[in-house]
A and B are shown apart, each in its own frame.
Chain A
């Protein structure tokens, strides 16, 4: 069974500061890993995904994440926070079983940007 743990339900950073959102996963097979962003009353938008290629994945809006198998982690980072980054962020894992890739989501991290 697969699972995702997001450490910190709320993270606050100052505008221009580093953003670090933590995600650890558990999977019985090589995982596919995703970060999604959700703005209030909206659906989810894909930020980036890892599918067993490069371990450092670059996404939209300046975000990137690094897959570390030894640490079973897939933390999301952005060098300089912008006010528009304030949102809910979800990490998700899918076990790469062909034709049966259900996403399991973490509980989310609410990112607040301090002006």
Chain B
């Protein structure tokens, strides 16, 4: 089956620093990647949708200058949390799909802790 990886799996950073999270599709070309945020014991909240080579589309309430998304290749998307604060601490999960009628395949998630 299709495999999506994320790196790092866990990251701890100081308040005010920036953190980059990578999402890779290992055995398929991901024309679209999605970034979700999951709060403890809560559901997944879609943050943004990115298509390869295009600017990401952000969901309402998500600050695009805070959460920078780059999808420069068919196998890699990055999420950069800029000037991170403790309230940005969360579990970030990406997903990827090859085509609009394809299933989304999810990565294992990245746990971000901002001190």
Contacts and interface: CB of A to CB of B under 8 A. Distances in A.
Interface of A: 34, 36, 41-46, 49, 90, 98-108
B106 A44 contact: yes
A106 B101 CA distance: 21
B100 A46 contact: no
Residue among B91, B95, B104, B107 with the highest chain A CB neighbour number at 10 A: B104
A98 B101 contact: yes
A98 B99 CA distance: 10
B103 A46 contact: yes
A105 B43 contact: yes
Contact of A90 (B4, B44, B95, B111): B44
Contacts of A36: 106
16 contacts: A36-B106, A42-B109, A43-B4, A43-B109, A45-B106, A46-B103, A46-B106, A49-B103, A90-B43, A90-B44, A99-B100, A102-B34, A103-B34, A103-B46, A104-B46, A107-B42
Interface of B: 4, 6, 34, 41-44, 46, 49, 91, 93, 95, 100-101, 103-109, 111
A41 B43 contact: no
Contact of A41 (B34, B105, B111): B111
Contact of A108 (B4, B43, B104, B108): B43
A27 B81 CA distance: 33
Contact of A46 (B34, B91, B105): B105
